Amino acid sequence: MFEPDAGGHRLTYMRQLLPALEGLGEVTVVVGEGAIGTEAFRVQLGELRETHRFESVAFDKSGGLLGKARARLDALRSAIDLCDPEHIFIPSGDGLAQLLGVPGSSRRLALKPGVQIEVGMHRGSFAYRAKSLKQRVSRGAALRTLTRSPLARAQFVDVLAYEWLRERGHPLAARASVLADPVDPVEDVSKREARRVLGMPEDGRVIGTSGHLDERKGVDLLLRAFRAAPLGETDRLLLAGRPSPRIRELLAGEFAGLVSSGRIVAMARYLTDEELGATLAACDVVCTCHPAHVGLSNICLRAAAAGRPVLSGDYGWFERVVAGFGLGWTCNVSDERMFSAAIADSLDQADSFKVGERGDALLRFHSQVNARRTFVAHLRERLGLERDAGLIEWESLGT
């Protein structure tokens, strides 16, 4: 298993998926140089160092997207030289997978005959409407190189990408599957208890968001819409996670009054999985307000697993899943008036909200056990093992 970048959700993915490989072969986990010393590694994978072989390789992630992809390719070559693998899993392969389809790139890996590569793909941007000719050309080129990549399997986390390929009979569809996004079990705690654990006021209503807090996730839009929404004095906004410099600046300046009054509760730090679960349980509504996000939102799924309704943007995966599976409500988060009205409406409706049958089916698909089954389905087939009887495939959801 290869993951040179310790950032974001990548190490969480490794922790969640590694148990699926037990009993299927000798596993080596290769990470980037320096990753093992990070707080994220300690939180996500520290305990597994006792039972798994971890190695590290040089990884220079400076530069743009292309520079990072080339650095990943060099790191993968080093990992292959180090481990001499027969099967390679890259849980987060965006960028690298496309680069492998550029003529000459895959030859640099010097793979032995029979070695297979599987990648997890988180950003199927080709399935989303391009905003410009330049973007359309870029996305088309990325899809062509991805199709030419010597991959045994492209596991798409974003169902929009998978469905786009299947509906069009694209050549890549034959090597594509849906990788369920593993949703951590959520402890059943009340809102008041969760707020007590987090050290925040226990009364009133709370709308919140968790994870990395930046403009890409629309946190600046959420701040302004919350301020403009017709809410009561005990209605609060919970921001849980590390803020970007711009969001930190907004909280210390333009929104400092709402922070000092307690209307905005900011937990500006890296959260453990337990704390992340508590932040979701503390909310009446969980807001995933990405204005133009390509890909899936794990926080959205975890909120649904915690029984909390989601208010999200009306774009891409959110419109397909939040609206399509009854996980909450969507709106145009770039329109402050509409967004602020939706915040007030969602809080008013939160007490009567329940995830329905379609939402429950979606959560079963995204359970940790099923995510692991989808992850190793091709490897089991390669090893001549029977199909896992408990495997839930995307098509079974009747979409």
Same domain, 81 and 96: yes
Tell me if residue 235 falls in helix, strand or coil.
coil
Dist. CA 393–CA 100, nearest whole Å? 28
Query: What's the pLDDT band for 398 if we cut at 50, 70, 90?
Result: confident
Same domain, 321 and 375: no
Contact 396, 178 (CB under 8 A): no
Same domain, 160 and 122: yes
Same domain, 79 and 26: yes
Neighbouring C-beta atoms of residue 97, cutoff 10 Å: 24
- Residue whose C-alpha is closest to residue 96's, from 151, 45, 33, 137: 151
Domain residues for the domain of 332 are 191-360
Q: What's 303's domain CATH number?
A: 3.40.50.2000
- What's the whole-number average pLDDT of the chain? 92
Q: What is the pLDDT of residues 109-150, one digit of tens each?
A: 888 899 999 999 998 999 998 889 999 999 999 999 999 999
Same domain, 35 and 171: yes
Q: What is the pLDDT of residues 169-202, one digit of tens each?
A: 999 999 999 999 998 777 788 899 999 989 999 9
Q: What's 80's domain CATH number?
A: 3.40.50
Same domain, 312 and 253: yes
Beta bridge mates, 207:
237, 285
Same domain, 234 and 355: yes
Same domain, 214 and 352: yes
Residue 185, pLDDT score: 73
Q: What is the pLDDT of residues 38-87, one digit of tens each?
A: 888 888 888 888 888 999 999 987 777 778 888 889 999 999 999 999 99
Dist. CA 288–CA 313, nearest whole Å? 7
Burial of 95 (0-12, 13-18, 19+ CB in 10 A): buried
CA dist list (Å): 213 to 97, 122, 132: 28, 19, 27
pTM score of the predicted model:
0.89
Same domain, 236 and 318: yes
Which tokens sit at 202? Answer: 């226990």
Q: What is the pLDDT of residues 286-333, one digit of tens each?
A: 999 998 888 899 899 999 999 999 999 999 999 999 999 999 999 999
Count structural domains, the chain.
Answer: 2
Same domain, 209 and 159: no
Same domain, 175 and 307: no
Residue 50, pLDDT score: 84
Same domain, 101 and 202: no
Task: Using a pLDDT cut of 90, give the percent of the chain over it.
Answer: 74
